[in-house]
Structure 1
Amino acid sequence: MENNLDKRNFINWYCWYATSEEIKKAEQTNKAAINRLVNEHSYEVEKINTAKRYYDNSSLPEGVLPEFHSFGCV
């Protein structure tokens, strides 16, 4: 259960909350751990990034926020 929570925390931070500057800073501080986590969870990260790109490129009416689904990966 703890590993699942760690996985969710990392994926949420990496895909949703961290800015590119924060990711670069984390890589400078602990590059091995960040690379390991990105490699371990690359499938989930790529699925989320694909969904984000799709919604970023779709034409939704102004003020409508897309609903993201984790598709069972987080």
Structure 2
Amino acid sequence: MTQKEIEKQNFILWYSLYATEKEIEIARTRNREILDRLLKEYAQEVDKVNRTRHLYERIVQSKGKKTQGFDATLKINCFSR
């Protein structure tokens, strides 16, 4: 894996999955030029990750909302005869 490929992978994972809004804002103020360059360079990949993540979250959340839990207890009365 080349240095460029490692940079790409690290940036996409950080920006799309791990960075908080606060961390991104700090990066914008301290390293605006670098952040802008990376966003421009990897915009399509970041977008793919974001769309996939949102789709996954919608699927997981929709399943969670549709299923309801309940407690079923089976009682068996046994009488000795």
What amino acid sits opposite 1:17 in the alignment?
A: Y
| Aligned counterparts of 1:14 and 1:60: Cα–Cα separation in 2 | 27
What percentage of aligned pairs have identical amino acids? Answer: 36
Structure 1 residue 44 and structure 2 residue 67: aligned?
no
1:31 Cα deviation from its structure 2 partner = 0.5
Q: Secondary structure at the match of 1:28?
A: helix
Unmatched 5+ stretches in structure 1 = 62-74
TM-score relative to the length of structure 1: 0.77
Query: Relative contact order: is structure 1 or structure 2 higher (C-alpha 8 Å, sep ≥ 6)?
Result: 1
Q: Deviations over 1:10-39 (max 9, x none)?
A: 111101110011000011001011011001
Structure 1 residue 6 and structure 2 residue 7: aligned?
yes
Q: Any runs of at least 4 consecutive aligned residues in structure 1 with deviations exceeding 6 A, and if so which?
A: none
| CA RMSD of superposed structures (Å) | 1.4
Matches within 5 A, 1:1-74: 1-58=2-59, 59-61=62-64
Structure of greater Rg: 2
Unmatched 5+ stretches in structure 2 = 65-81
Q: Report how many aligned residue pairs link the two structures.
A: 62
